[in-house]
Amino acid sequence: STITTVSSGINAEYGGEPGLDYGGVAREWFYSLSKEMFNPYYGLWEYSAIDNYTIQINPNSGMCNPEHLRYFEFSGRICAMAVYHGKLIDGFFIRPFYKMILGKQIVLEDMAEVDIETYNSLQWVMDNDPEDLFLTFCAQESRFGEVIETPLVAGGENIEVTNFNKVGYVNAYIQWKFVNRIEEQIKAFKKGFAYIIPLSKLAVFDENELEYLICGIAQIDVEDWCKYTEFKGGYSATHHVIVWFWKAIRSFDNEFKARLLQFVTGTSRVPMNGFRELQGSNGPQKFCIEKWGSPNDLPRAHTCFNRIDLPPYKDYHT
């Protein structure tokens, strides 16, 4: 059965890098695989209009890869496997993507997080009489340098947008923008996800919780990190080296904090409920700092145990 297939655990081994996998290598494998899987370079995904790190499904993915639906199904399986095994993936999806997985309706406010210019235009239509704009029930998009016009409803090119039908126009535009253009791709993704975890099991989550479940928390809370850290080898929360350690982390930007977290745990993301839910080789495993080595050594990490071996440095700047 599907559950039997995935419940036996995952052991990952990198070519030419033999080692024991107690969970850390698998975490890094999910992270590395998903980073490539969701790379917009391959044409299956694209950056949203609002930034260059939030991604969405590319409506023209079929023109980039004839096998695109198989890849989307595979992506769905990998995401579900990560959830099942308590791992996180490296993917910053737009919020409507999670709502589509849950089968929830997408509304105008969702547009603001994806395409602020289109949101402002549609909001203006909602707040004013649009008749002077001479709009019709059509949407335009640029496809490989060519402007394509698509009717939002049957015969939409002949239906003018008025003050009486503008709500229908906005709703139809949102449906086209987020659903109609990628209907096959999202269906394939959900099929792959459901192969591992039935979609009905996600009904208890909203879109924010689902994002945290799949991708973890993007913004790293240092105070929460401190709270759920344990110490070994003679270190304690008040030891001067530990005080310097947290001082250094607080001085980092979020990207550098994430890189340090990945170095120690195998993933740059924090679980849905914070650092208290970090997973190790045998279940929950707090972040750990152990005293090790000499002041001339560099720190080393054990991703299977969420542990960093930190030498007893003599001063903060070291």
3-state secondary structure at position 148? strand
| Chain segment 215-241, per-residue pLDDT in tens | 877 778 999 999 999 999 999 999 999
Mean pLDDT of the chain: 87
| Residue whose entry in the numeric block shows the structure tokens 């003679």 | 234
Q: What is the mean pLDDT of residues 289-299?
A: 94
Calpha distance 56→39 (Å, rounded): 11
| Residue whose entry in the numeric block shows the structure tokens 């998903």 | 34
Radius of gyration of the chain (CA): 24
pTM, two decimals, is 0.70
Hey, which residues are catalytic here? 304
Q: Report the alpha-carbon angle 113-116-117, nearest 5.
A: 160
| Chain segment 52-85, per-residue pLDDT in tens | 667 899 999 999 999 999 999 999 999 999 999 8
pLDDT score of 136:
95
Using CA atoms of 86, 89, 93, 95 in order, give the dihedral in degrees to the nearest 10: 10
* Tokens matching residue 61: 């993915």
9 pLDDT more than 70: no
Residue 247 dihedral angles phi and psi, to the nearest 5°? -60, -40
* Tokens matching residue 32: 């590395």
8 pLDDT more than 80: no
| Higher pLDDT pick, 152 / 142 | 152
276 pLDDT more than 70: yes
30 pLDDT more than 90: no
| Higher pLDDT pick, 262 / 17 | 262
| Chain segment 169-183, per-residue pLDDT in tens | 999 999 999 999 999
The alpha-helical segments, DSSP class H, found in 13-140 are 24-37, 61-64, 68-84, 95-102, 108-111, 116-127
Residue 158 DSSP one-character state: G
